Amino acid sequence: MHHDGELTHPAVDDFDLVEVLQALGDPVRLQIVRILDAGAGAIACHEMGLPVSKSTGSHHLKVLREAGVVKGKIDGTRRYYTLRRTDLEARFPGLLDSVLHADAVATARNR
Amino acid sequence: MHHDGELTHPAVDDFDLVEVLQALGDPVRLQIVRILDAGAGAIACHEMGLPVSKSTGSHHLKVLREAGVVKGKIDGTRRYYTLRRTDLEARFPGLLDSVLHADAVATARNR
DNA sequence: GGAATCATTCGACGAACGTCGAACGTTGGA
DNA sequence: TCCAACGTTCGACGTTCGTCGAATGATTCC
């Protein structure tokens, strides 16, 4: 069957700073963002190796998606996710980069 | 009279990204950061005109302080707060600026 | 068609959060 | 000395959050 049920995503103008900061302010979700940043191309939920159950992982992806941080694409039974780099940069210049770089620094420091 | 009770603040190396993002991910706390950014010099809690009770305001200042976002200085019965700009920039380069700028844009847009 | 795969949704649970008013401790001024 | 001002702390409250397993839905493969 064909279900053209595309996932819903907020428009760039509807991004909310508090919502984005809350979305990024969780260890698991920050890990997801880091994975999507490091990976080349779209990544499916089950390929991320998250330290939570699949339902929890799905929940976190939903939070990130509704905040505008990630974009989900349906492909069969899978959802491939990517970072909305350009959109985030347009709405909150420098924010994603600073978060990713800060996170990389922290990771290197605690190694 | 004597006042050896200095407020405690985390060292720059102990800043935690998730904690900072969570601290910034609240409307009232973001308002406090905006006020401290706009104001020249230290500002006391009761001068901020926060839309919450004094106990709630005190709580939010504590969250920001323990995350390393603000620095509190005791002066008599008052606590004067400032942004830890330099420390935040050293630990999370560009983060505070991007949050403040994004916030300013959002505020101008919803005017 | 049937089974396996992938992900979402649905309760449920405890923990954490934002909020308040009241009480308290300090300090400074009349 | 007494009182007003400022802020913190304490309990309480309702809400939201992160988590899980089970159930459900959708799709692909055999």
Task: State how far the alpha carbon of A41 is from the alpha carbons of A48, A62, A69, A84, B74, in Å.
Answer: 13, 19, 15, 12, 51
Q: How far is CA B15 from the centre of its chain?
A: 14
In this predicted model, what pLDDT tens digit does every residue of B18-53 receive, in sequence order? Answer: 999 999 999 999 999 999 999 989 999 999 999 999
Q: Is the distance between the Cβ of A22 and the closest atom of strand D smaller than 7 Å? A: yes
Kindly provide the b/e burial profile for residues B72-89, where b requires at least 16 CB atoms within 10 angstroms of the residue's own CB.
Answer: beeeeeebbbebbeebbe
In this predicted model, what pLDDT tens digit does every residue of A4-22 receive, in sequence order? Answer: 568 999 999 999 999 999 9
pTM: predicted TM-score of the whole model, two decimal places: 0.92
Element (H, E) at B101: helix B95-109
In this predicted model, what pLDDT tens digit does every residue of B56-94 receive, in sequence order? Answer: 999 999 999 999 999 999 999 999 999 999 999 999 999
A25-39, B3-17, B41-55, range with the lowest pLDDT: B3-17
- Strand C bases near protein CB (under 7 Å) are 5-11, 17-23, 25-28
Contact (CB<8Å) A98/B103:
no
As a whole number of angstroms, the distance between CA B111 and CA B103 comes to 12
Indicate the Cα dihedral angle B23, B105, A106, B8, nearest 10°: -40
As a whole number of angstroms, the distance between CA B17 and CA A103 comes to 7
Give the residue with minimal CA–C1' separation from C6.
A77
Q: How far is the CA of B93 from the C1' of C16 (A)?
A: 29
Contacts of B34 in chain A (CB under 8 A): none
Give the nucleotide nearest to A4 (CA→C1').
D26
